[in-house]
Amino acid sequence: MAKKLALIFITAFLLNAVWEHSHHVLYVHYQGEAITSLILFRAALFDALIISILGVLFLSVRFFRERLWLIALGAIFFAVGLEWFALATDRWAYTDAMPLVPVIQTGLTPTIQLGFLAYMSIYFVEFLIKKK
């Protein structure tokens, strides 16, 4: 399981690094400052850590292992909570170009990012290991 978790972390980090660098233009600032490569690196690390923690649950509990799609749902709920907190405390702000999810008023790209990339990371690692 340690090997799988390491692969999930690496995959999640790489996918999130690409995502962070591609959508950071939809943000005005991070804690009132410019968004730098270091900030994007830290964000990708944080996201990879969250995905890895979820990975432990989804790799070790049979119910979840058989319903991998639930990781996307759980990660989306986490992302929405994180966005609400960050927006309420002015950790970051969206530009006018950020599409918002109706009703919950969070940015579309950060709302789907964690769920989509969590699913893709674990699915990819499972695929790689089964292929060997």
Residue-range definition of the domain harbouring residue 118: 2-131
- The DSSP string of 13-77 is HHHHHHHHHHHGGGEEEETTB---HHHHHHHHHHHHHHHHHHHHHHHH-HHHHT-THHHHHHHHH
Mean pLDDT, the chain, rounded, equals 92
Closest CA to 27 of 101, 90, 102, 117: 90
- The answer, yes or no, to whether residue 132 has pLDDT greater than 70, is no
**12-30: pLDDT as tens digits:** 999 999 999 999 999 999 9
- The answer, yes or no, to whether residue 103 has pLDDT greater than 90, is yes
Mean pLDDT of 78-91: 95
Residue pair 83/110 in contact (Cβ under 8 Å)? The answer is yes
Element (H, E) at 126: helix 108-131
Q: What percent of the chain has pLDDT over 90?
A: 74
- The answer, yes or no, to whether residue 38 has pLDDT greater than 90, is yes
Quote the number of domains for the chain: 1
Mean pLDDT of 30-34: 90
Q: What is the pTM (predicted TM-score) of this model?
A: 0.90
